[in-house]
Structure 1
Amino acid sequence: MSADINRDVVLPLDEYDNIEEAVSLAQRAETMGYGAVSVGETAGRNVPLVLSVVAERTDEIGIADDVISPYSRSPAAIGQTAVTLQEISDGRFRLRIGASSPALAERWHGLEFDRPLRRVREAVEIVRQVQSGQRLEYDGEIFSPDGLTLECEPPEPPAPVDVAALGPKATELAGRFGDGWVPQLLPYEQLQARLGDLKRGAELGDRQLDDLRVAPLLRCCALEDGERAREYARSQLAFMIAVYGPFYRQAIADAGWTELTERVRDRWHESGREAAAAAITDDLLEAVVAAGTPAEVRDQVERFEAIDGVDAIQVAFCGGMSDDERDRTLEALAPSR
């Protein structure tokens, strides 16, 4: 592992019976030298509340959401969240904004999933205004808040605002307006190609690629039984392709796996998860996740870390892993190891 690259960890909040278990993993990650912990939000627990507990019970590790969507909260409310968590954490918070998915926007929040890129851009700009402490005045195409000012002290420094994106235009937006980029499930070569889109966006925003923190999320499973680890990864990848959202499937298809992604989706809906997972080929698995024995997984993670422009790898787990298996994976990839 390069000394210039951070390793972060994603807390699998939906895998735990209670919040205390997630906090315990964050504390262990801190003692192992991980740079940050993040928590994703779908239709379960309210993530900013969980992050406030993590911030209170840790001392140095960074904290972040993965991700907050402007379909789930107004941009001003997202800005208030950033202000509050930056205060609670003594400046350790990074805000991540992303469009999320049509399923969550429409079926959970009851909103039409319209103009996601524009909505994300406006949210990022409004959050910056909120954190500045100045009067909120924004005349957008979607959001037009006007006339109020943050009623507490603005954070100093303000929380950085990263953008979660996969497609070329969305990644360009991240480069132009965000402080960082947090992609998930991009194949190795596609990740390299997208860095060109990020650079173009940075240049449009009069910035350099080095000004942005690039932190891909990589699903990992490191077990002595390498084949069992790969089974977890195949199952996770099948779910992401077939069910979780169209953007992940499209990103993998765009990288040259169109027929395979269609086969995985069809098998899932025709025969179930196990049949879909069996359709995941070894070459796709190697391109997208890090699964196998501890030595194999360390090599795979280091391969992603070696991509020019990557600043951190977010170590995420595969669904279905036990607490012990997550702990072994965390230990195998620990920066202080």
Structure 2
Amino acid sequence: MADLEVFVDGAAYDRIEEIGAHAARAESLGFERFSIGETTGWNVVPALSIAADRTSEIELGTAVLSPYGRSPAMLAQTAFALSDLSDGRFRLGLGASSPAITERWHGETYDRPLRRLRETIDVVRTIAETGTSAYRGAVFDIDGLSYDRDPPAECPPIDVAALGPTATELAGRFADGWLPQLLTADGLADRLEDLRRGVELGDRSIADVRVAPTVVCVADPDADRARSIARSDVAFMLGAYGPYYGDSVAEQGYQDVVEAIRDAWADRDTDAMAAALPDDLLDELAAAGTPADVREWVADYAALDGVDAVQVTFANGMDEEDRERTTEAVAEFID
């Protein structure tokens, strides 16, 4: 049976300490991993440090850090420190990010994102393996300084968030895990072919790459309310957050839907964005409804060929009571 994991957006919490409490709760319910996202809200490192202190068994991860927001050497230092704090339970999640976050938040130029991502992975592993940052690449040309501690016995596992065929191939070739999102069952099957191609290019085994799709989940006794929250969140991701989420879903056969949602976003009409997302696509992309509905959806997705874990995440618009109810509903699936 596939594992279950929890992925939270750190920005959804008023205090960092609340994230640590959620991690402890996830551990008590039997979840395999607790990951925290970082965009323009809380710095993920203090939150994960608190989570490490308040847990003892659950894996911890970033989902995901941008290679434009931190240098490769700083990412290595971050990964090693969090791995030490958690007694080896940390996984470093990386992704190519997006033009908006890169340019309008970090003030960097969004150039050669996949090459930068690959070289970032290389530099982190180089520091872990050699104790120096010396590296020659197309994006990073680093003379190198020594890491001022003993390198870790093993480099923390590195997961890559990827949606498109080339990025997914990169994950298969170089990463320890793949973190896709907003993939229908058929879309996931297609991308798994790209992942396997990358695995072959890297002369590896598919067993070397942990596949953990992220799924938006909203459980409420009022199924209509749950679906309304999920619909608004997914529509926003397709129309305003990206462009990669929208491009990915369009390529999965929903070009007209994505265009309609983007047209509504051009007018900043969030109600029209949600209305443009049909029930059948919502049901393909998100688990929303009664607790039993959500549990059944997650169980079916977890049973898909090639899935090692499902990362349960929460929609914007959910409060702490909603998150707790949804977490508990999904946890009933755990043996």
Shared fold (TM-score, shorter chain, > 0.5): yes
**1:235 is aligned with what amino acid?**
S
1:247 pairs with 2:244:
yes
AA matched with 2:206: L
Maintained 8 Å contact 1:51/1:63? yes
Render the CA deviation track for 1:95-154: whole Å, top value 9, x for unaligned: 011111100100011111111110000001111011224333211001012231211122
Note if contact 2:35-2:61 (Cα within 8 Å) is conserved in structure 1: yes
- 1:180 equivalent in structure 2: 177
Question: 1 CA distance for matches of 2:115 and 2:154?
Answer: 26
Partner of 2:73: 76
User: Which of 163, 166, 177 is the aligned partner of 2:163?
Assistant: 166
Structure 1-normalised TM-score? 0.96
Counterpart amino acid of residue 11 in structure 2: D
Gaps of 5+ in 1: none
Q: Distance in 1 between matches of 2:314 and 2:134?
A: 41
Matching residue of 2:303: 306
1:207 aligns with 2:209: no
Tell whether the 8 Å contact from 1:163 to 1:178 is kept in structure 2 after alignment: yes
- Whether 2:21 is the aligned partner of 1:24: answer yes
* Offset of residue 20 of structure 1: 1.5
| CA RMSD across the alignment | 1.2
Contact 1:91 1:157 in 2 (8 A): no
Residue 320 (str. 1) matches residue 296 (str. 2) = no
Contact 2:16 2:46 in 1 (8 A): no
Is residue 2:275 matched to residue 1:287? no
Is this contact kept in 2: 1:86–1:158, CA < 8 A? no
Percent identical among aligned pairs is 51
> Structure 1 residues 271 and 130, CA, compared in 2 at 3 Å: closer, same or farther?
closer
Aligned residue type for 2:57:
E
Give me the whole-angstrom Cα distance separating, in 1, the residues matched to 2:12 and 2:54: 20
Q: What do the CA deviations read for 1:144-167 (whole angstroms, capped 9, x no partner)?
A: 122312111222232101111100
Aligned to 1:227: 224
Matched letter for residue 203 of structure 1: E
**Is contact 1:105-1:112 (8 Å) kept?**
yes
Hey, which bits of structure 1, 4+ residues long, moved more than 2 A?
133-137, 268-271
- For 1:277 and 1:100, how far apart are their aligned partners in 2? 24
Say if 2:124 is the partner of 1:136.
no
| C-alpha distance in structure 1 between counterparts of 2:117 and 2:194, whole Å | 17
1:39 counterpart SS class: strand
Q: Aligned with 2:151: secondary structure?
A: coil
Structure 1 residue 200, shift from structure 2 partner: 0.4
Distance 1:135 1:292 in 2: 51
Q: Corresponding residue for 1:117? A: 114
- State how far apart, in whole Å, the 2-side matches of 1:179 and 1:295 are: 33
Q: Hey, what's the Cα distance between the residues in 2 that align with 1:138 and 1:217?
A: 33
Return the offset for 1:269.
Answer: 2.7
- How much has 1:44 moved relative to structure 2? 1.2
Residue 276 to residue 147, structure 1, CA distance change in 2 (3 Å): closer
Q: Which amino acid aligns with 2:139?
A: I
Question: Which residue is equivalent to 1:277?
Answer: 274
Distance in structure 2 (CA, Å) of the matches to 1:238 and 1:9: 22
Aligned equivalent of 1:218, options 201, 215, 218: 215
Q: Deviations over 1:237-279 (max 9, x none)?
A: 1110111110000000000100110101112332511121011
Residue 48 of structure 1 corresponds to 45
Length, aligned pairs only: 334
The residue type paired with residue 304 of structure 2 is I
